[in-house]
């Protein structure tokens, strides 16, 4: 793949010395869903699929972007002095926003460059293609211009770009894991403090399998913002009783004691998801450390039920994918990411991978007439330069 992206670079911008190649992964969240913005624990890992980028400096102040995945957008040409959002620039806005934010903070990016991108991550499937692009450019700038930004700070910077420049009100999970992940590990992140632990994924004969529903819901952004607002409203009710900073600061006991203050059933269920998901995630981490894969899988499935019934961010297609997975050997299955479409993540014994795959594909085709792409996840490193071979 890295040869391919260099080829795309040369074809688009002409061959020249000094081309450097980077890889930025996508991510899948194993457990801890919709609680990064509630100060909870999340447990994602980075994937071996993602975005490859080739970059070379120029002598002037011009930046040219090209992505093979958005061929019809063509080459986007901008000047270092004009990095404002432009809807015509499509995917390149993610890159422009990061560079702009770095310059606003006084970081010295004083030469233009050409950059070509090529990725094998399905777009709009909930595997974080946008955070992957942000970190790709962020790490390129950090390395090429010697900016010295730490990985956690880079993640926070990219999240700010997504929130304020792109206008998507996401939490910190995606940018953080893509910036900081380690191969063969999951990353347990406390979103309150940004303390994190790399957790070896000893899966004892199981594979993390991702099933893509291929459903892309236009409503994701508005529903996502609605969920965030509901959590804020629920938090304000508990804050009248307890000195909590975030909804996930509540223990199960505190939740039980004061939940009757929530006069609204919807707010009650949203808060119950946040509190129980946070506890499930910490328990799942302990279960993994104790080699209790069955317990870990059960926590994943319980997470799905809570997202489906209490948080109401699943959809019929994701529910069918989860049911098919559990009926065909998975020891845990859940929707992953923002929901309303996108992917499920499943823990599947290696000795039934083939039958799992064909049964899920057949069952999903019968139910919805859609071929579901299935990926075997390889927990990978965060964004990095790829060594020359
Ligand atoms: C999206 C957001 C994340 C997180 C998940 C849900 O992926 O970008 O910050 O909130 O949804 O867990």
pLDDT tops 90 at residue 124 = no
Task: Residue 15: count other Cβ atoms within 10 Å of its Cβ.
Answer: 11
b vs e for 343-372, b when ≥16 Cβ sit within 10 Å of the residue's Cβ? bbbbbbbeeebeebbebbbebbeeebeeeb
Q: What average pLDDT score do residues 69-74 get?
A: 96
| Per-residue pLDDT tens over the stretch 187-204 | 999 999 999 999 999 999
Ligand 1 close to Cβ of residue 174 (< 6 A): yes
In this prediction, residues 128-144 reach a mean pLDDT of 97
Q: What value does the mean pLDDT take over residues 5-18?
A: 95
Q: Using a 6 Å cutoff on CB, does residue 173 contact ligand 1?
A: yes
Give me ligand 1 centre to Cα 170, in Å: 6
Q: Which of 30, 36, 44, 159 to mutate to test the pocket of ligand 1 (most atoms within 8 A of CB)?
A: 36
pTM of the model: 0.97
pLDDT of residue 388: 59
How far is residue 94's CA from residue 130's CA, in Å, rounded to a whole number? 7
Ligand 1 atom with the shortest distance to the CA of 224: 11
Residue 219 has pLDDT above 80, yes or no: no
- Does pLDDT of 262 surpass 50? yes
For 226, residues 6+ apart whose C-beta sits below 8 A from its C-beta are none
Question: From CA 88, how far away is CA 134, in angstroms rounded?
Answer: 18
Answer yes or no: is the C-beta of 37 below 6 A from any ligand 1 atom. yes
pLDDT of residue 347: 98
pLDDT in tens, 138-189: 999 999 999 999 999 999 999 999 999 999 999 999 999 999 999 999 999 9
* Ligand 1 atom 8: residue of nearest CA: 170
Has residue 254 got a pLDDT over 80? Answer: yes
CB atoms within 10 A of CB 266: 14
| Contacts within 8 Å (CB) and 24+ apart, 71-78 | 75/12
CA of 49 to the centre of ligand 1 (A): 19
What is the C-alpha to C-alpha distance for residues 195 and 175, in angstroms, rounded to an integer?
14
Residue 1 above 90 pLDDT? no
158: which residues sit within 8 A by CB, 6+ positions away? Answer: 98, 131, 134, 135, 138, 175, 179
pLDDT at 82: 96
pLDDT at 206 over 90: yes
**Is the predicted pLDDT of residue 211 greater than 80, yes or no?**
yes
pLDDT at 270: 98
Q: Which of 270, 336, 337, 343 to mutate to test the pocket of ligand 1 (most atoms within 8 A of CB)?
A: 337
Residue-range domains of the chain with CATH: 2-200+380-385 (3.30.230.10)
Location of structure tokens 């990353």: 187
Cα separation, 343 vs 215, whole angstroms: 9
Q: How confident is the model at residue 389 (pLDDT cuts 50, 70, 90)?
A: very low
Q: State the chain's mean pLDDT as an integer.
A: 96
Is residue 115 predicted with pLDDT exceeding 60? yes
User: Is the pLDDT at 128 greater than 60, yes or no?
Assistant: yes
């Amino acid at each position: 793949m890295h040869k391919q992206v260099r080829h795309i670079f040369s074809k688009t911008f002409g061959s020249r010395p000094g081309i450097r190649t980077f890889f930025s992964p996508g991510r899948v969240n194993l457990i801890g869903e919709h609680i990064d913005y509630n100060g909870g624990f999340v447990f994602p890992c980075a994937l071996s699929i993602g975005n490859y980028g080739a970059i070379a400096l120029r002598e002037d102040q011009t930046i040219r972007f090209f992505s093979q995945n958005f061929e019809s957008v063509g080459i986007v040409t901008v000047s270092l002095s004009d990095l404002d959002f432009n809807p015509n620039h499509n995917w390149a806005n993610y890159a422009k926003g990061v560079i702009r934010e770095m310059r606003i903070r006084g970081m010295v990016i004083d030469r233009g460059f050409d950059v070509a991108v090529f990725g094998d991550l399905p777009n709009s499937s909930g595997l974080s293609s946008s955070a992957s692009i942000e970190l790709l450019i962020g790490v390129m700038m950090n390395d090429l211009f010697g900016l010295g930004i730490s990985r956690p700070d880079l993640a926070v910077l990219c999240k700010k770009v997504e929130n304020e420049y792109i206008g998507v009100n996401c939490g910190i999970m995606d940018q953080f894991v893509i910036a900081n992940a380690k191969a063969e590990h999951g990353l347990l992140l406390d979103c309150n403090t940004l303390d994190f632990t790399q957790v070896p994924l000893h899966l004892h004969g199981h594979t993390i399998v991702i099933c893509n529903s291929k459903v892309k819901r236009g409503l994701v952004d508005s529903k996502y913002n609605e969920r965030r607002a509901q959590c804020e409203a629920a938090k304000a009710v508990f804050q009248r009783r307890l000195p909590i900073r975030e909804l996930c600061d509540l223990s199960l006991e505190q939740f039980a004691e004061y939940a009757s203050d929530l006069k609204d059933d919807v707010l009650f269920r949203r808060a119950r998801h946040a509190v129980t998901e946070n506890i499930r995630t910490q328990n799942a981490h302990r279960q993994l450390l104790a080699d209790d894969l069955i317990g870990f899988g059960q926590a994943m499935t319980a997470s799905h039920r809570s997202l489906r019934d209490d948080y109401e961010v699943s959809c019929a297609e994701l529910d069918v994918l989860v049911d098919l997975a559990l009926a065909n050997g998975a020891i845990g299955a859940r929707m992953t990411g923002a929901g309303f479409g996108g992917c499920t993540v499943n823990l599947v014994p290696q000795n039934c991978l083939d039958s799992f795959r064909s049964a899920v594909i057949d069952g999903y085709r019968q139910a919805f007439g859609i071929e579901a792409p299935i990926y075997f996840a390889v927990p990978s490193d965060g964004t990095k330069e790829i060594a020359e071979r």
